[in-house]
Amino acid sequence: MHPYNGWLPYKLERINNQLLCRWLYFNTKAFTEPFFDETIAKCKSLAFNSTPFKSFTTLNLLEDLTRNIDAAAPKAIIFHISRCGSTLLSQLLGLAANHLVLSEVPLFDELLRLRYRPYYRQEDYKLYLKAAIKLYPQKRTGTESQLFIKADSWHIFFWRELREMYPDVPFIFLYRSPDEVIRSHQKLRGMQAVPGVIEPEIFGFSENKNAEISLDGYMIQVLEKYFAEFIEVSAKDRLSSLINYSEGPMGMVQKVSEATGINYTKEEWAAIKERSRYNAKHPHLAFSENGRAEILPSLKTVNSLYTKLERIRLKNQCPNFSSINE
């Protein structure tokens, strides 16, 4: 059972000029939804969360609460460029009974982005983030022993801080052909695909740079930043693994298995294969990529970065590989 009787910190709130952490009652709810905000939405209907009284603590208390918790480090942290199979991968990883997958936890994002907020006062967000990560995987069903964290796409720009926090944890970098990513965002735009929703400084943009750009043009520039960062990470981080969406669901899980040293039983592989046939965000629907999309702006720069990243991936998995067609 969770040591704090089913309560977890889930968001930051500024009250009377003080930054506080608000807690939510999760009971023993398993974290099986594609995104963690869906889990939060379900837990808000629980009786403890329907009263007019709210639970708050200081951020410092997070560290105090976890000081005596001997929590294992994540087995892997999954970075991605969005719309590239990361949600399905996290769902597949979560099929093993002893795996716990935390998919885009809002509190983790708030803590990482804390220094970009106007009320930031040099709080040591890394200490608070590490404490929060210790709290979330405490035993819920009693079987969990392996923790995976799926980051938000813009968290690639925080990889250095996360590497400092977890020097021995494998980093998985998942990506996809730029035109396919853009076409997915044309159907439903993500937060990172709309100017101003995520602080422009995180991407290295000035506030006014993208004022007149189209949504597709903006997302292309975001992808350029993502791919450039992926290339830099692959050159500097010895525990990084590149995975292309084109390798397929089974290939993705196999790559993670190789990076983490986790082995699956025949029954688990069969379950993974069956689940991979269905939509990541809507598990009751069969997987389909049908649909028309608009003509895209120039992809020359981002395609060049994608090709360079592909060279690195193929060289890493085949040391004798020397070149691929442009």
Interval 283-309: pLDDT, tens: 655 555 555 556 677 899 999 999 999
Single-letter amino acid code for the residue at 55: S
In the numeric block, which tokens belong to residue 281? 């965000």
Residue 146 pLDDT: 92
Is the confidence at residue 321, as pLDDT, over 60?
A: no
Query: Percent of the chain, pLDDT > 90?
Result: 67
Vertex 103, ends 99 and 106: CA angle to 5°?
135
For the chain, domain boundaries:
72-317
Interval 66-108: pLDDT, tens: 888 777 789 999 999 999 999 999 999 999 989 999 999 999 9
Distance (Å, rounded) from C-alpha 100 to C-alpha 8? Answer: 15
- Percentage helix, strand, coil, to 5, in the chain? 45, 15, 40
Contact status, residue 191 vs residue 197, Cβ threshold 8 Å: yes
Q: 250 phi and psi, to 5 degrees?
A: -65, -40
Q: What's the per-residue H, E or C state across 91-156?
A: HHHCCCCCEEEEECCHHHHHHHCHHHCCCCCCCCHHHHHHHHHHHCCCCCCCCCCEEEEECCHHHH
Distance (Å, rounded) from C-alpha 88 to C-alpha 244? Answer: 13
Residue 324 pLDDT: 39
Residue 264 pLDDT: 94
Residue 283 pLDDT: 60
Contact status, residue 154 vs residue 203, Cβ threshold 8 Å: yes
Residue (of 69, 56, 62) closest to 18 by Cα position: 56
Residue 95 pLDDT: 94
Burial of residue 272 (CB within 10 Å: 0-12, 13-18, 19+) is buried
Residue 290 pLDDT: 54
Residue 122 pLDDT: 67
Interval 257-286: pLDDT, tens: 999 999 999 999 999 999 998 866 656 555
Residue 277 pLDDT: 86
Q: In 90-125, which positions are buried (b, 16+ CB within 10 angstroms) versus exposed (e)?
A: bbbbbbbeebbbbbbbebbbbbbbbeeeeeeeeeeb
Contact status, residue 272 vs residue 280, Cβ threshold 8 Å: no
Mean pLDDT (the chain, rounded): 88
Tell me which CATH code domain 72-317 carries.
Answer: 3.40.50.300
Sheet holding 7-15, edge to edge: 7-15, 18-25, 55-58
Confidence of residue 39 (pLDDT cuts 50, 70, 90): very high
Is the confidence at residue 30, as pLDDT, over 60?
A: yes
Contact status, residue 265 vs residue 73, Cβ threshold 8 Å: no
Q: Which one has a higher pLDDT value, 139 or 213?
A: 213
Those residues whose C-beta lies under 8 Å from the C-beta of residue 121, and which sit 6 or more positions away, are: 19
Give, for 21, the enclosing helix (H) or strand (E). strand 18-25
Can you say how many angstroms the Cα of residue 150 is from the centroid of all Cα atoms in its chain? 3
Interval 165-216: pLDDT, tens: 999 999 999 999 999 999 999 999 999 999 999 999 999 998 666 667 899 9
- DSSP type of residue 247: G
What residues pair up with 77 in beta bridges, in sequence order?
Answer: 149, 171
